[in-house]
Structure 1
Amino acid sequence: MHFTSLHLRAYGHFTDKTLDFCDPSSRLWILTGANEAGKSTALAAITDFLFGFNQRTPYDFKHESAKLLVIATLANDRGELLTASRRKGNKDTLKDLQNQPIDQSRLFSFLEGLDRDRFELLYGLDHERLRSGGESVLQGKGEVGTLLFEAGSGLSGIRSVLDRVRMDAESIFKPRGHTKLLNTIRDQLLETRQRLQQQSLSQEQWLGHIQQQEKLRSQLETNAKTLREKQQQENHWRRIETIGPIVARLEHYRRQQLELKDTPSLTVELIRERAELIKNMGLTSQNLELYQKESLSLEARINALCPEEKLIPQASRINALYREAQVVRDRGKQLPGLEFKLTGVNQKQTDLWREVGGTSAEIDEEKLPDSPRLATLRKLMEDRPQLQSLGNELALGIKDLQEEAREKQEEMQVLGEGVDIGASRGRLPGLKELMQREMEATRAFDNSENARKSAEEKRRNLPLWRGSMAELEGCHPPSEDMMQRFIRDFQRGQEAQLKIEDALERIGQELRQQHAQRDKLRRDMGGEPPTDAAVGEARSKRDRFWRLICRHGLSGAPTEWGDIDGKWLNPGQSPAATFEMLVAHADQLADGRVREAERLAQWQQREDRIQSLTLQERQDKERANAITAKQEELLKSWRELWLSLGVVQPGTPVEMQGWPGLRSEILRLKSEADSWHEKGVAVRRELSIILEEAQRFVSSLGGPEAVAGEGLAATHDRWEKFFTLLATQAERRATTKKRLADIERRIRTDREKIEKNRQLLLDNDARWKTLLGQFGHAAGMDVEANAEFLDLFKELKNVFHQREDLLARIREITEQRDTFITELQNLAVVLGEEWNSEDPGQPLAWLEKLKVRLDRTLEEFKRRRDHREQWETLQRSQSQCQVTLQTDRMRLKEIQARYGTQDPREMDGVEERSRLKENLERKIIECEGEILNSGEGLTLAQLLAQTQGQNLELAKEELHKLKKEIAERVEEQRALDQALGGEKRELARLTGAGADAAALTRQEYEDTSNELLKHAEHHVHLHVAATLLQRIIVRFQEQNQGPILGQAARFFRELTYGSFDDLKIDVDGGKAWLYGVRPGGQEVRVEGMSAGTRDQLFLALRLGAL
């Protein structure tokens, strides 16, 4: 389950605050904020949304309790969503967005059994619980088990709880104590029991009945003793009857076991191993026979293969010639085409020779110009137009440069000499720096104004304050310690009031329960129960009336005896009847008192509890009134304190907690505003001095004068334009001067290039005529007319090269074919074979057949090698099988020795006898177990001794006789019990005032016993709780110590920023203690750590446990 959104509509200081967690790519959300930002408030809102608002909440200081509202959307792993709102109330507090109630079971399906307490322990670690965990670390003094259990469960103070439980148990009872509660009640119970015994035996008039009871009890004891003896005899003979057949079977099994004493006890593993060996030996023999057959078959196939051995050494040579034969065949097909091309090239060469005017009948390649000469001629022909164009361009360029030089000289005359400010400009302060200072002053004034406005706004919004800023500065609110003291006292008072209210509510509920139980007892008893006073009054009337009868006799007139009670002295009733009525009434009250003793005790307990609760209720109300008065007095002094500061209606200490901080923030903003204003004034003053000095310097250079009221930006623009104009003019003069020098230099350079170009044209013509004069043809000397002529020379040269290439390829093919035939002849000589050399196709045909024979030979050779490898593998398998058989036979002989026989055929019988022996041992154990189960605590030897030599028929007769005697004794015992019961009833009927005292003592004894039992049960619960808690702590330590401490050490190192490097456990006094290890190796116990470090240690352990 996780939250996708949380909307704090009205909760704490939040109003319409929404937190969105619906991004599916984020699995963890971290909410951060400064102090008082609302982190704890958000955690409390989540808790109240999930489990409902408590009856009292501290988060209604801004919104009314009835208007508190939290809206959230939950999602779970099943893809379900739940959007609901939770308000504070008593019924239907969980509703949907249409304000309709939602069944709580829908929310429970998302919580999956999680309640408020467990949620706060596991996921609600706040500052208070963190500090509590740090304090518990100190209380435990670093005891590892307690620390780990507190961190894993999220609980704190486990050690103090355990100590308190043990102290409570010791306060109830100590084995050798006399002042503890349980010891005192025990002494009272012994004293009450002693009084009860004395009161029951103090009536001498009942001595005869008591003696008769003692006689009957003596007869009962004698008869019971005889009955027990008879029952023991019956048990003895019944054991003989039951055990006899089992003993017979046991002796039979032991005789059979004695016959098999020489049979060895074979284990199941040994028998199974023998069977496996026999099975494996059979399989190994079969495999060995199969390997031998396959070996013979492979030998036959190897001998059947007959490859040509002479071809194998020449295999690579034959394969190479075979591959070359294809190349020779393909290139031989190209030879006619090459010869045809050669004829065409020869004809073309002759035609071109005639066109270029060859003087000899035969073509002479030496007379043709080579490629470098042709390239030179073509280059000379192409360069001449370029050289002519370049000369023309240079002449036009010189003319343009001369025109530009005249324009630059006129521009220099217009600009004049000018002013040089290069040395003076460095004295002027940087205008940009002045602008930055001006902006700094402006920002200072803006910050001052913003701080002043913020301070004034916060002053106006300061709760319960209507004074000025000066009055606020003169106001001195309570110190932080005083505020915390007021808050602490106020909160303690509220907590005490809440506790008392809860206690009063519990007392009221219990009072109602006690009254209801008392009324139920009254109804069960049929009205008010008879009291001791009513019983005493009835007996007093009976005794007074008996004394009157003794004085006046039964014949006297009752009216003469005096007025005893008008109810009993009826003129129409005789004194005897009146006396019988008084006696019956007194006995009825006494019997009711005895009969309802238990209910009377419960009645009295209810009355005592009601009185105790009423007294406690009155005391709690007095305490509540005292706390209320103290709270009112505290609030009165609080209001008087704030009234003296000018706050007419201050809030509660909790509400006014942030007031001093808001005042400090307002005064800080005011002080910040004053500081920024002073800084702006200082900067403006400094700028004024710098600007006056700068204006004097600008005026000395002939610049613009200052303008009254002009801002720094406008002054900056005028000065920047002035200096820019001066700089621009200086730059233009320098640029123009430089350009004139460049023009003169370029004119000189271009004239030199024109002269050089003219010389190159003359040289070009001379070289052309010289190169063409070397050829024997009648071509002209004009460069433009000889472009086609040069192309003919180039084409003729290419034809010469083509002819040479064709001749070279024809020679190469012919030589390759001759070399191939020679290689074939040599191979035939090596192999001792011949072919018809006059047939051109015979060598290739012979090579084809030879290649087929070679392939067949290689295939047979490969097959024979594979068969050889298989045959060797089979030979190794045969050897392995033989070794395995030998090993199994040796092991089988060892097993045979353990069987104790020389004949292997007897081993099966040995196994059968061994199994029979094992079954006999099991049956003997079962028989002995049956005998012991029927032996009523006697040993096996005693039981066997009792049944030794006994006759089962005699045992049955004795058992029948004893059953008859026991039935007679039981009937006699029942008659004695009835007689004793009659004596007891007679004694109870004759019981008088002494019986009433004994009944009261007996009631007191039962009450004391019940109280002793109640406190004893409470002591046992406390002792068991302490023991169980200690065992849980030890078990948790044993299971989780390593993983938790490993993770916690890493977290502790990060939380302390490396102040501690590790956590270590050391044993001292039989207990494991936790130490912090610093980077230098120094060990620090928990008591030596600061409070903050202990908090960090608890947090690290908590994170490690999670």
Structure 2
Amino acid sequence: MNLMAFGPFSDTLLDFDSGQEGLHMVYGPNEAGKSTALRALRQMLYGIPHNSPDNFVHPYPRLRIGATLRRDDGAILEFIRRKGRNNTLRGPDDAEVLDEARLRTFLGGVDAPLFSTMFGIDHARLVQGGQEIIQGGGDIGQILFAAGSGISDFRKVRNDLLAEAENLFKPSGKRPRINEAISSLKQKRKLIRDIQLSSQEWEQHDLALKNAREKKQVLEKELEEKDRECHRLERIRDSLPAIARRKELLEDYKTCEDAVLLPSDFAKRRRDTVKKQQIEEHALARTLQNLEEIQQGLEKLAVPESLIRNAEGIGQVYQELGSHRKAMKDRGRLEGLLSGAKSEAGDILRGLRRDLTLDQADQLRVEKAESIRIQELGSEYERLITRQESTKEEMSKLSLRMSRLKSQLAKLEAPHDTDELRKILDKMQGHGDLETAYGNLCREIKKAEGEVCFGVRKLGIELKSPEAVRDLPIPSPETIDAFEQSLGNAESAVQRYRSDKDELERRVVEIDGQIEQLQLEQEVPTEHDLNEARHTREQGWQLIRGHLLNTATNGAADHEVAFVAAFPPATTLTEAYELSVRHADELADRLRREADRVAQKVSLLSDRKTREAHLTRLSRKLKNAG
């Protein structure tokens, strides 16, 4: 313990680290500070009180007590206790605030009063203990225990306990609680004895109970039987009126045995039947009236014998009238298209050959070999264009070089005598035109370089210069042969694809011509046309049926006008319906008569679709082949 600033001490250290028994004796003369050290020990552990008398040297704010504690497990706690209201436990640096709980773990549960009683007895406590011994008297052991344990006025406590015991129990008393409880227990036991039965009495009562239960069961059974009988009689009583009524109904039924049973919906069916009968009678009357009018018209109508003799031919002509009208209607449009096509073809032909007419245009048709030659010339043209571009680039480079040379020439000194040089040149001319030969060689080199660059680019290789070709690895002869064979196969496949494409295009054109020829001869009807005609005919019949049954809807008038307008020159619904029936029949007859043409058209359309799909695939392959 370090008395840093407490009482008369300043930085005074008390070391309790030595010793084997855990007992330390502090001795010294009077006024040496033993009591102050004991107070410092107690206040170090539990705090310096507010009115501490130990500030006569150091003021309250400077009071400090340091200590180092060690537990049995070896844990060590160093701290400083200062005077204050809060945060009085500090770390060794007097700055860190420590939790009081850490210190309590070193005290083993001993609080301040217990510490003062057991370990901090000072002179004042000894004087107080002597006075308690004098006042208490009695057993000296109890008095010493009271003085040692800090229990003041032990005699008074003992007397209080004796008085409390008398209030609980007295040997001759009645009012204490334990005495009252004993008296109540005796009364309860007496009551139990009074209400208990003997074995003989219990057997008698038990036998009587069994007899009563058996009698009860017999009575309950008899009562149940009586209840059932009563309920049966009540049901019979309730059924008597119904039985009498049943007899009356049976008598009435005998009088109606021969009557016919009608279904439940007979009334509704009768009303519907009567209504239908009225409608049919009305329709029959109108039909008879129309028939009579038609008969009168027929009687008044005089038909020439020539028409009767040619009835079959007239019918045939009438059937073909629709096709003829359609052809006449389309003729003007087709003639216009034909004229426009001829005019356009003539313009194209005049641009190609002014000396030929349209009839002679077949002379310009390109043969297959010529077409191949044209394609080859096109490829050659592309190569020439590439070479031309390369030549232009080279000419540009040469022009720049020539400009630089001219600039250098201008900077040179005056030329020397060239007579000797001329002699040498004359001598060299005997060997031929060297410049021409050099130029030819340069051109051949440029041509070869251009061909090399073009070929390398086609192989997908980029070169900075033609000289870089020498650095490329040379493929083996087997690889070259394989690529040549693959290239040949690819070219053959491309040529075959092109031939097939030309053949397909030619065949598609022929199919289009055949389809157009069929349409020019007469439009070929289809199943769709027949279905449409039948649907229209059914609409007309529904309109007529609505008139006959008086079930026409609000929009029937508009439908009727549209239906009549669709079949000129009809002016009434009846005439339009007759024309719709005739039109549907004509389409059916034409489909039957012209089945071959219909099948031919369907076959041509299917063939054209198949070839167009094949043509698309070939075009895709040619595009991929590049």
TM over 0.5: no
Identify the structure with bigger relative contact order (alpha carbons < 8 Å, sequence gap 6+).
1
